[in-house]
Structure 1
Amino acid sequence: MNINNRNYPKQKQTIIGVCMDGTSYPYYEAAKDVMPNLQRFIKEGSVGMVKSVIPSFTNPNNMAIVTGVTPKVNGICGNFYWDTELQEEVMMNDPKYLKVPTILSELSKNNRKVAVVTAKDKLRKMLAHNLDGICFSAEFANQATLEENGIADVEQGLMGKERPGIYDPYISVYCIEAGAKLLKRQHFDVMYLTTTDFVQHKYAPGSPDANDFLSKIDFWLGELDKLGAIIGVTADHGMQAKTNPDGSPKVQFIEQLLDAQDIKTRVILPITDPYVVHHGALGGYGTLYLEDKSQLGAAKDYLLSLDGIEKVLTNAEAVEEYELPADRIGDLVVLADSSTTIGRTPDWHELDKVKEGLRSHGGEHCQEVPMIFNKKLNAEFSEKLASGNSRNFDLFHFLSNGFSN
């Protein structure tokens, strides 16, 4: 079946796409002694490194994965953006912002049984858009109904326990566990399971908390594997420490700094979402709108002079380089280096929530993520994965075409 100009033929086995939010390969390497199932996937299946879309944030990458195309095509280029028609800053979590259908919805309309579980409810509406199947969030599993989510009584009927809170590391484990329990209960052709990155924002690779979390994820990946599914595990982005030597957040408050240069701007930080405990709305990518367009050159030059600011692109340059939608990214796109974040003004951010050990993402340095399959890819797709040119949004194309049927 052709969806967004890519082919997704039906497989005899269940195909499961897993997005491990914020999980770069060093997490798995450091946890290899407590992740026997994933280590078996790596040894007996297939593994390679792929690139996420820029900005390396949750919504753009999840929607790229489930549409199989770039933000320029699907329209989703942040968790948050400036709506020029409404003249408002809005969450980009409404299906109206999607410019193309999802793979999940199109397959569900063509006799494929589809189930989706997301840790964060902010993704659910877009993942569920026009979907004829099951789609619920672990965050609001207690509110799931047949009418809205295709399933009711998730906590007791499916899981046998209450959901953890959104800032509990095990909300993501609950998400993968829900996928395994759904598949034990009935057959699905396609599943998508996508977690949250609270652990990765708080704990570095190899830390006891990160490894404990990943060991529990590994158990449920093993249960999915036992059920005979073809599993592909990737990520929406990586994660890096963004701190000064004293452990405080390393931030360039570019709206305040430009204002001091008499360059008036509206800075938009597309990492912004309801989960500010994770990151305080501080990431490695931002866009800005200039009041006076004639100051574009001056703004770009000034920003590039700042420590930690790595790239400043015009709208046209950003569209070309990162395949972004021109109507949703402003006049300039700003990217920070591996240890710096971009802010608006100190007062705008809840800095007390990230005063120690800030870890975040958004720029190119969090773009490389693993793609791991529990079974061996065929020669054509094994070569594609080994090339280093594949993207995380190729996940369902690999799952649908990369294995003998």
Structure 2
Amino acid sequence: MSKKAIVIVIDGCAHEYLEQGVTKNISELGKRGFFKNVKSALPSVTNVNHATILTGSLPIEHQVTGNYFYNPETEEQGFIDGKGFLDKETILDVYAKQGNSTALLVVKGKVLQVFGDNVGFGLSAEHPDENLVKYLDMEMPPYVATPEANGWIMEACYNLIRKDNPDFIYCTTNDYTMHNYNPDHEIAKKQMESIDYWIGKIYELDPDREIYITADHGMTTKTLLIDLQKKMDNTSFDTVCMLPLKDRYLENHLYQEGCAVYVYAKDQSQKDDIYKHLKSYSFIESIYTREEAMDQLGLPGNRIGDFVIFGTKEVAFGELEDEELAVTVRTHGSKFEQDIPLIAVNARREASEYKRHFDVVRYMFEDLNISADQDLNLVK
């Protein structure tokens, strides 16, 4: 049987949220194991990074490239909040195949819908199963877009370990607080204190379990929003500018604002000129052709635009009434939100071996494959 493990993903947890003096249990676990900076996948958005962590691979393998999709051949578009987008097995799938018990506990319902096909125990605060909630000796959860929802899912995680002690658990929160409150705000500190409390309780309950605490992406403050679609519509170019961060949680980003855009050239003969035009915008920090994005960012060419762009440090892209809007928001999606924490205790590798958050699961896959090979050798 595989070693018991838990991966806790604090959605949007930039390092600053762990530097306010209220996460003492997380700090203590870091002293017992390690506490370091690692990188998320790009774009630094939720679906991309849950898929990356859970499969131990980059998007070019698992094929999830955002919270939203656009098909240039059919012009179909929509939210990625169900089955059919993930092209690779998750660690939850593999643990289950080997006869181990698994659990996926989430605040955002879409995470369970996309990744929860084969879990033994699946619970979302957004769409809770009343029988499961009662089984965990809990009241029904608060509204998903509240700081309290995160404490509720962490308590559910603690109660599940107390009752069933599953072999592998993936537990993740919602970044509502990170989008709406700076790290030093009292509401943000209170939320982090609550998450930290339950992490401490989980460790006390099962101190031998592998525990990994990380984030799917960071979060920074932006002061200028750009509607790139409107800007391009006012040129002679025929493009679709798709926002990979776009999702249904408007409490988190009212303008669907995020720091990355996939740009599709509907007229391929314009592609070179579109590239030159995009390069002229001062609000674009970097631009990748499809081929460069595949090679340098590990993105699948069949699910991104002709160009992948990221905004400068103070810029996000959104859906606006005008081309630009000067407003202060907190969001993510670019390289500026790629640095995230990783805290681990009872880790299966030395701290220096972990450079990206998905290394956690990548090493689990490696060890499970070794174990499977050894089993086959014994059969022979």
Common fold by TM > 0.5: yes
Q: Which amino acid aligns with 1:140?
A: H
- Runs of 5+ unmatched residues, structure 1: 1-8, 145-151, 244-249
**C-alpha distance 254-348 of structure 1, shift in aligned 2 (>3 A):** closer
Note the C-alpha offset of 1:83. 2.2
Q: Is 2:166 the partner of 1:188? A: yes
Q: Show CA shifts across 1:171-222 (max 9, x none).
A: 1111111111000011211000011100000111121111110000011001
Question: What is the rounded CA distance, in whole Å, between the counterparts of 1:334 and 1:216 in structure 2?
Answer: 36
Name the residue aligned to 1:10: 2
Name the residue aligned to 2:359: 394
Question: What is the rounded CA distance, in whole Å, between the counterparts of 2:363 and 2:38 in structure 1?
Answer: 12
Q: Show CA shifts across 1:316-356 (max 9, x none).
A: 1111111111111011111111210123553699x8xxx85
Match of 2:131 among 146, 153, 162: 153
Note the C-alpha offset of 1:400. 7.7
Q: Is the 8 A contact 1:254 1:303 kept in 2?
A: no
Q: Percent identity?
A: 29
Note the C-alpha offset of 1:132. 4.3
Name the residue aligned to 2:279: 304
Q: Is 2:353 the partner of 1:384? A: yes
Q: Is the 8 A contact 2:10 2:173 kept in 1?
A: yes
Question: What is the rounded CA distance, in whole Å, between the counterparts of 1:133 and 1:241 in structure 2?
Answer: 38
RMSD: 2.2
Name the residue aligned to 1:46: 34
The 4+ residue runs of structure 1 with deviation greater than 6 A are 399-402
Q: Is 2:15 the partner of 1:19? A: no
Match of 2:179 among 198, 201, 208: 201
- Runs of 5+ unmatched residues, structure 2: 368-380
Q: Is the 8 A contact 1:231 1:399 kept in 2?
A: no
**C-alpha distance 61-361 of structure 1, shift in aligned 2 (>3 A):** same
Name the residue aligned to 1:362: 333
Match of 1:268 among 212, 234, 242: 242
- Normalised TM-score (structure 2): 0.90
Q: Show CA shifts across 1:359-396 (max 9, x none).
A: 00001110011110134x46x522213xxxx2111123
Once structures 1 and 2 are overlaid, which stretch shifts more, 132-141 or 189-198?
Answer: 132-141
Name the residue aligned to 2:193: 215
Question: What is the rounded CA distance, in whole Å, between the counterparts of 2:139 and 2:79 in structure 1?
Answer: 31
Q: Is 2:114 the partner of 1:126? A: yes
Note the C-alpha offset of 1:304. 2.3
**C-alpha distance 77-108 of structure 1, shift in aligned 2 (>3 A):** same
Q: Which amino acid aligns with 2:282?
A: D
Name the residue aligned to 2:374: none
Name the residue aligned to 2:311: 336
Note the C-alpha offset of 1:100. 1.1
Q: Is 2:5 the partner of 1:28? A: no
Q: Which amino acid aligns with 2:29?
A: F
- Normalised TM-score (structure 1): 0.85
Question: What is the rounded CA distance, in whole Å, between the counterparts of 1:348 and 1:112 in structure 2?
Answer: 52
Note the C-alpha offset of 1:298. 2.1
Q: Which amino acid aligns with 1:111?
A: G
Question: What is the rounded CA distance, in whole Å, between the counterparts of 2:74 and 2:303 in structure 1?
Answer: 12
